[in-house]
Amino acid sequence: MTLDEELDRIFTVRDRNNIQPTIDALLPILAEHPADARVLYEVGGAYDTAGKEQTARSFYEQALQVGLSGDLLRRCYVQYGSTLRNLGEFARSVEVFERARQDFPDSPSLAVFQAISFHASSRFDEAVASLLEVVVEGVESPDIEPYKPSIRGTACRCHSTRVPTSHPLDGTEIRRRRADSAVRSVGLAAQEIRGAPMPVILVTGGRRLSWAVRTGTLYRARRNWESADILTP
């Protein structure tokens, strides 16, 4: 029997309401394969189910360091990020899910658990946006199909941009509207400060598009519901 087959057999008979026998079955395998990424992940998951989240965290981190791939990596991201949230490490949890979404941009489970971590971090607009994106991308229903453009637009507007912590306005958060045509607003804002002796931080559509440095204040260029913000130190 291969290692994967043995692990599959253990989880076929797993009882989530009585996880200790599963842990007991996994520990001898861990002793034989201490550097196997899947073994580390599965042991972490068993301890997670048992409510031993600090122990689970350690095994998840070891598994990620050794190297997971495919669906195992996606599942580990979900469980590791959720464990960090349950341990009160909200910012770290959000970071894990942001990295996970880069690796698996089409995963609805990651989007949902990212939303939960956003909410725990009091980033409520982003939590709503993440859930709305799941609806747009994952729900196929004639009842909702005509409204997807509106839902997508609302998700865009719910996103917010945070100034990097290295910026002089450390901790400042700018919230703005996002729209498909926001790029055109960049042009409006750029024209407003053209000729400035030093560059600026130009933010639009919820994404930082360019960096620079300029003395001054906050400029805002608007055209109807389109907007672009220029944040300066």
* Average of per-residue pLDDT across 29-48: 96
Kindly report the backbone phi and psi dihedral angles of residue 209, in degrees, each rounded to the nearest multiple of 5, phi listed first. -100, -30
- Checking if the pLDDT of 168 tops 60, the result is no
Share of the chain above pLDDT 90, in %: 50
Asked if the structure places residue 116 within a domain, the reply is no
Q: What is the mean pLDDT of the chain?
A: 75
pLDDT tens for each residue of 180-221: 333 333 343 433 334 443 333 444 443 333 333 233 333 333
Asked if the structure places residue 166 within a domain, the reply is yes
Asked if the structure places residue 213 within a domain, the reply is yes
Full strand arrangement of the beta sheet holding 219-223: 207-210, 201-204, 226-231, 219-223
Cα gap 111→123, rounded to integer Å: 14
Residue 147 DSSP label: G
Asked if the structure places residue 141 within a domain, the reply is no
pLDDT tens for each residue of 52-84: 999 999 999 999 999 999 999 999 999 999 999
Share of the chain above pLDDT 70, in %: 68
State the pLDDT at residue 88. Answer: 93
**Host domain of residue 198:** 160-233
- Checking if the pLDDT of 136 tops 50, the result is yes
State the pLDDT at residue 40. Answer: 97
Cα gap 204→225, rounded to integer Å: 12
Asked if the structure places residue 42 within a domain, the reply is no
* Average of per-residue pLDDT across 80-107: 95
Asked if the structure places residue 204 within a domain, the reply is yes
Q: Please tell me which of 81-90, 124-133, 147-156 the model is most confident about, judged by mean pLDDT.
A: 81-90
State the pLDDT at residue 160. Answer: 55
* Average of per-residue pLDDT across 90-110: 94
Report the domain count for the chain: 1
Q: Which residues contact 226 (CB under 8 A, 6 or more apart)?
A: 177, 179, 181, 182, 184, 185, 188
Asked if the structure places residue 118 within a domain, the reply is no
Asked if the structure places residue 182 within a domain, the reply is yes
